[in-house]
Structure 1
Amino acid sequence: MNRTFLARALAGLLFVSTPLTLSAQDERLTVHGSVNIAYGKTDGLPYFGLNKDGSADYRAIALQFGYKLSEKDRVVTQLLHRKFGTSPLNAAEPDIQPVWAFYEHKFDNGTALKVGRNPLPRGLFNEVRFIGTLLPFYRVGSQVYGETLEYIDGFAASKPFNLGGGFGLESHVFGGGFNLRAQVPGATGNSVINARYENMIGTQLWLKLPVEGVRLGAFVSNYGGTPSATLPKNARPARTTSVLYSAEAKVERAFARAEYTHFTAKVPSFTDYSAYYLQGGVKPVEKLTLAVEYNSAVNVVRFGGAPIPNLDLPITKDLGLGATWQPSASIAFKLEGHRNEGYGFDRPVPSVIPPTAPPLVAKLAPASKAFYGLLSVAVAF
């Protein structure tokens, strides 16, 4: 089955899915989907698949099928197709993949258990970041979420708790394996990571405060690289711990969000990564949203130990402004502009100046800059 056939099949499914949903909503089968398509370009340096020529090969399409087995049991499959323009990440991204494929059972005490390829409960947007009608930008928190970690192969369980006094707790626990794909700049150029990790365990907790629309979240996971058990003990890679902290406040016509993540890994290459974003927006009229988002990410460049100390490499500092016109809940038109400064471009840029004489201290090369814009439309059904 070749890629052309798969792409045409997905397009056909998207074409027929709207009437299928209408006829199946009252039965056991449901079909939902989202289509996000964009055109973008930069003023010079290529960044995340966009360049000076412009690219319309920019999209994220998700199609979800659900089947209700009983009042407490269902199965869900979601297919995903993405293109990132001319980004090197395209080489590590399948044309179409089953990003979700799980069985869910709901217990009488409020616990829900998913088994299979499950949505990974991580942060504010991980489970909805392909539904463009819910997002103020084409991509949100790009340095925190990246273009991976959408799922976990294994199990995910959740249970809500009423703590009294207007407080509530939403708890998630999960375990299994996942794939990681990312582009990471370093002292010698860019590299695309496409790795598999297993034996992950973790939790996501959400604390709902007595103030309406305010909640705080914390995510932590611990996982190992592969291969591991098949290697001698002294050659096995160390396990990695990843954390993410979230805060959100929403009122009728305004919102504010912030998230921070950090992890240190030794495989497939040494990475000490931290990132955060700040996001805010207002709705001056019912159908218009104006938003601003600032993304920052830092990776530690290691020179193999003494005598040259490690160096913090600010991968990106991205400031974005966006406007969304949403005539209905199922469609949104977006226009956004960004200023990106740093070293995380699609082609290597000067980043680190190694020392040539004492004192042996590396220096950062002047940061590169690019302005880029995106015009997109999002549809959900």
Structure 2
Amino acid sequence: MIYFDNSATTKTDSTVLSTYQSVSENYFANPSSLHQLGEQSQQLLTRSRKQIAQIMNVSEGEIYFTSGGTEGDNLAIKGTAIEKMNRGRHVITASTEHPAVIKSLEQLEMLGWDVTYLPVDKEGKINIDELENAIKKETVLVSLMAVNSETGSLQPLKEVGELLEQYPSIHFHVDAVQAIGKIDLDLNNSRIDMAVFSGHKFHAPKGTGFIYVKAGRKIASLMSGGGQEDTLRSGTENVPGSVALAKAVRLLMEKKTENIKKLIDIKNLIIDYLSALEKVTVFTPTESAPHIICFGIKNIRGEVVVHALERKDIYISTTSACSSKKKDKLHSVAEMGYTKNEAESAVRISLSHHNTEQEVDIFKRAFDEVHLRLQLIE
């Protein structure tokens, strides 16, 4: 079996899973309990938060545990909206964002908020001048995805941050779910106010994640209750998940440079191969994340390719589409200027550092057969 669908989810690392099980068995008490067992759980939680903060080069008080990317994006967007609703009700985002962002903004629109969806170019990037022109007196939030989960496109976060230095009251939220361990993301020295991360994208258990909220930036809680996570996210803490998450972050970042080089080498092998094939279009731009390759076979729907490779025990995915009331389509490939047919052909290979060049060789042989057969069908 060859698993090339790591942007959808990764397999939990065996040592991370072992940590999760050990903590579940031995530190099961509620961290809010006053007794010694509760205190032991609380200490583990504190240690995990501190470890993640140190690795990310931020302060311990800027890290909050969540259940993953969707919760983090909802918290950043709606939390900002509630906190700053008396100052303004305008948000700026890109037309190619993840559904967790788009759907959150649609909900705000239903409540009377104004949302500007910036277009992207052929590289999948917004234009900085268009962003500046979109800013109003009522703008309270700019929300952008660091790495597009469908195409691997990179948003110009540094340039956006430099622009927003002129607008200190505007919150800058980054969906960094596909970014950690793949691109440089220096939170401490950036204009980014909130960044969202999801554990199952880097070999941690599903249902784990964290959000960075810059010190001094206030967002409202969406979960009212016992006041956990410094009142930002009430609810009994997932101690084993958070400890396992911290371990996965450490393992990921310890070999970040080595892993990125490996991903780039494998990605280039696949792109060079695909680019030489007749009627195959590579949609992923040259400047992109090291682990995502988006491509399509002319006039062949993406799901047909996915299932053809699945029969050969190779697992890729179609790209995820999201919708908005303001647009007929929000599929990233279509938003980048490709035709409807091209967008419908799009599939995605997404890599992990666990993938190998040997797997690429197997994929190439399998795809040769699939490509030839589908051309005959066409």
For Structure 1 versus Structure 2, the TM-score category normalised by the shorter chain is under 0.3
TM-score (norm 1): 0.22
| Greater strand content | 1
The structure, 1 or 2, with the larger RCO (C-alpha pairs under 8 Å, 6+ apart) is 2
Higher fraction of helix: 2
Length-normalised TM-score, structure 2: 0.22
